[in-house]
Chains A and B, each alone.
Chain A
């Protein structure tokens, strides 16, 4: 069974940084892209970005709203994906979901979700 477990959420002041982690199990981690999707309170889904698995492993893409502030990385030896969030803003508040993506050449499809971790950016 595929499992994705996020951690690292919490309350952080505007302008500060936070790093989220996602540990995957039940599948061959390196074969999949890993991504992050967020959801502001009472709002819809916003794709944040992803890091590809094989064959284009390590390449990344980001949403326009976070490009230059957020960085996604992965450690396939421990099956963990990370989301480093810098220069946080109040509009970054929300539940952050870790997702697994099936790879189709340069494209990838979300097929599994974690339960999410809440990030609150407030002074």
Chain B
């Protein structure tokens, strides 16, 4: 199974500041023939199911604010929130859908400083 490891486990950021979450896969989740990275990011707010934010490592899902962006390839990926808002307080998970069984990172909790 591919192991997804996120860092940090939690972070506190001031309103309006940048938040950066890293995700590393135990092996490459990039597929050369189509040049795609099979990496998604989900946001889970307290008491709610997760919500898809980013897929193909950098494509925002419809309706997701443009302060959320994703980058990376191969085994190293990043989710950036450019200007943290109060409604962004949540746990964020990276997720690989390259090789079954699909797997998630352990989650990163984002709070307001």
Contact = CB atoms under 8 A, between A and B. Distances in A.
Interface of A: 35, 44-47, 49-50, 61-64, 97, 107-116
B101 A47 contact: yes
A46 B50 contact: no
Contact of A113 (B51, B91, B103, B106): B51
B98 A47 contact: no
A110 to B, nearest CB: 7
A111 B93 contact: no
Chain B interface: which size bin? Answer: 20 to 34
Given A44-B93, A107-B38, A114 B103 contact: no
Interface of B: 1, 38, 40, 42, 44, 49-52, 55, 61, 91, 93, 95, 97-98, 100-107
B51 A47 contact: no
A84 B38 CA distance: 28
A35 B98 CA distance: 15
B96 to A, nearest CB: 10
Contacts of B40: 109-110
Contacts of B91: 44
B104 A47 contact: yes
B50 A107 contact: no
Contacts of B104: 44-47
B50 A111 contact: no
A109 to B, nearest CB: 5
Contacts of A47: 95, 101-104
A64 B1 contact: yes
By Cβ-Cβ distance, the 7 closest A-B pairs, closest first, are: A113-B49, A61-B100, A44-B107, A45-B104, A63-B101, A47-B102, A44-B106
Contact of A107 (B42, B52, B98, B107): B98
**Residue of B97, B101, B103 ringed by the most chain A CB atoms within 10 A:** B101
